[in-house]
Chain A
Amino acid sequence: MTRLSGWGRTPVAECRVRKARSEADVARAVAEGPMIARGNGRSYGDPAMSPGLTLDMRGMDRFLAFDAETGILVTEAGALLSDVIETFLPRGWFPFVTPGTKFVTIGGAIAADVHGKNHHGDGSFRACVEWVDVMEADGSVTRVTQDDDTGRFGTICGAMGLSGVILRAAIRLRPVESAWIVQETIPVQTVEAAVDAFEARLDVPYSVAWIDCSSGPPTLGRSLVMLGRHARADELPTSKRKAPFKVARPRKLAVPVDFPSFALNRLSVRAFNALYYRMGARNAGETLVDWDRYFYPLDAISGWNRIYGRRGFYQFQCALPLPTAREGLERLLTDISATGLASFLSVLKRFGPDDSPLSFPCEGYTLALDFPAGARSLALLERLDRITLEHGGRFYLAKDARMTGETARAADPRLAAFRDLRQARGWAGHFVSHQSERLGL
């Protein structure tokens, strides 16, 4: 038995873990009964932990083929996005969609159907998935293509591994001319102004806002809206133009120990946020930043999840539909800033249209925050759940560690249909996680 948790380090459970190194290993695990596949453990709560067997997929990390004409990579599910970048960025290719960390497996990215800073234009991860090989409950393997007319593709992306084990996938990469991003930072004083900035700049490929949740009225939700696009080779200064894909390796920082719980409090978080805002505002306008700093600022600090101490932390991420988003965001931020609970890393993002059967995004706005684990946070999170429900929003299963099944189903009617489908197809007996049990899926 192994003590496992998600990236949020809560909840923790003793799990039976085995590593899959081949398709035969996966078949054996599926035949044995309740199991769930686990990638690199970067979902925050308990979706990659099973009361049965937790199958570690990182032993299946081989790249099987790459087509330099189309940019389509065939890979086993346990390969990391960081490996994809390391191998293919020097050849002029970058992931079509990437979440905020590069340390996710391809299988995990598909199972959670992760999104990135370009969702408003390009959609979520599944947009770049040409096909997946999935192991069914009976141990057979099906190749499911994106344009598959049985609807099977939609029951895999965003299904959190609850409808089969993803073995391999073909993903399309994006051609880029350099490893650099032209970033534009727009400081704004309120969340209202942040939304205005997003709406005015929907044509920019990447956009995200860092939002200061400790700031109350009159600067409720003051933000740094950060826009970006891949730099063309001819935009680089001559010093960089010779090797457009080469960037200096960042010095790797690490959080060596669990921070004591008093380290993060209202004052330190307020000070951090104020400082961050000032630094960002000073760099307003256009700058050239490398891909790693732009897409993965937190990856530079290995084990950053330890700053919340041994008890861990909760992530909250909701998506609010466009018509109710402004009001909903204001309500959420008012409650959060009044509580004064620490949220270091709060992110606001515009989602584009999305019509997939299970995935999290819907056209509107998504807000992501984290809070130290504890009773006060839990009470706040319950209130945030309610506000989200009142505004027709829904929740991201890759971040969830504590929601009730009732809340999840109220927010997302698609889940009840998915539960019925799991029964009908026999998935319910084979693919089980702590999260699926908690949410009654």
Chain B
Amino acid sequence: MSRSVLILGAASGMARAIARSFAAEGHAIRLAARDPERLKDDRDDLVTRYGVEVTLHPFDALDLASHAGFVAGLPDLPEVVVCAVGTMGTQEENAADPEAGAMVMRANFEGPASILGHLANAMEARGSGTIVGISSVAGERGRASNYVYGSAKAGFTAFLSGLRNRLAKKGVHVVTVLPGFVNTAMTEGLDLPARLTAEPEEVGAAVLKAVTSRRNVVYVRPIWRIVMAVIRAIPEPVFKKTSL
């Protein structure tokens, strides 16, 4: 059985931390991103620190036609795939320009769902594997401040939930990760509350733990489970007047 871990969208700070967590356990790592040239330092880092095999792969989440070929071109079918593909854009831009908004939806939902669909089918045929989707608490309820991104993540969360249901008896496990705020390039310049904001390393540790203990839905910081329960419980007539 293969022991490799595939990281999709490997150029982000969160993906780097996730890759380190798995490499520290001795897994071979496949890093995939649009421009693999940018991943060379990350590869050298994983090799130097953990002495594992690391390979780089070009991958474009938006180029759906390339996805089947991408999976077929991997050195092996990975044991674990982590999808950290995503982009936030800014809500102003996404609202003002529906085309930009559609791009955010494609990058956060359509692309990830497509590639995970291909991998899920291959894993189902093999009868083993773990699929990890990095979704977002923003998908739990649409808010004026980032509902375009949030709606894409809501779609992705529902996709993961359905995939988990479908594959539950097929030996393939699906994990949904809801990181909450994370201190990365994506949130640079935002004024985030410290208690709710995780470092990328916390996400890396949480993802590894979720995979080894076969969790279904994980919040990186447990406090988010409470925060989101409250946000979901607010009645719509009240919710629509809030600014969260």
Chain A interface (Cβ within 8 Å of chain B)? 18-19, 21, 59, 62-66, 73, 76, 87
- A-side interface mostly: strand
Q: Which of A18, A19, A62, A66 lies in contact with B42, CB distance below 8 A?
A: A62
Given A18-B188, A19-B188, A21-B185, A62:B45 Cβ within 8 A = yes
A18 contacts which chain B residues (CB < 8 A)? 188-189
> Is B49 located at the chain interface by the 8 A CB criterion?
yes
Number of A-B residue pairs at CB separation under 8 A? 27
Given A21-B13, A87-B49, A62:B188 Cβ within 8 A = no
Beta-carbon contacts under 8 Å, B29-56 to A: 41-42, 44-45, 48-49
Kindly provide the distance from the CB of A375 to the nearest chain B CB, expressed in whole angstroms.
32
Given A19-B188, A21-B185, A66:B13 Cβ within 8 A = no
Kindly provide the distance from the CB of B160 to the nearest chain A CB, expressed in whole angstroms.
28
- Given A18-B188, A64-B41, 11 more pairs with CB closer than 8 A: A18-B189, A19-B185, A59-B13, A62-B44, A62-B45, A64-B45, A65-B44, A66-B48, A76-B41, A87-B48, A87-B49
Q: Which residue of B lies closest to A21 (CB)?
A: B185
In the complex the two chains form, is A63's CB within 8 Å of B45's CB?
yes
CA distance A19 to B16 in the complex (A): 15
B42 contacts which chain A residues (CB < 8 A)? 62
CA distance A62 to B40 in the complex (A): 11
Kindly provide the distance from the CB of B227 to the nearest chain A CB, expressed in whole angstroms.
23
Q: Which residue of A lies closest to B40 (CB)?
A: A64
Given A21-B13, A87-B49, A63:B188 Cβ within 8 A = no
In the complex the two chains form, is A62's CB within 8 Å of B185's CB?
no
Can you name 13 A-B pairs with beta carbons within 8 Å?
A19-B185, A62-B41, A62-B42, A62-B44, A63-B45, A63-B48, A63-B49, A64-B41, A64-B45, A64-B48, A66-B48, A87-B48, A87-B49
A73 contacts which chain B residues (CB < 8 A)? 48
Kindly provide the distance from the CB of B204 to the nearest chain A CB, expressed in whole angstroms.
13
B189 contacts which chain A residues (CB < 8 A)? 18
A65 contacts which chain B residues (CB < 8 A)? 44, 48
Kindly provide the distance from the CB of B53 to the nearest chain A CB, expressed in whole angstroms.
16
Closest 5 CB pairs of A and B: A62-B45, A63-B48, A64-B44, A66-B48, A62-B41
Kindly provide the distance from the CB of B106 to the nearest chain A CB, expressed in whole angstroms.
25
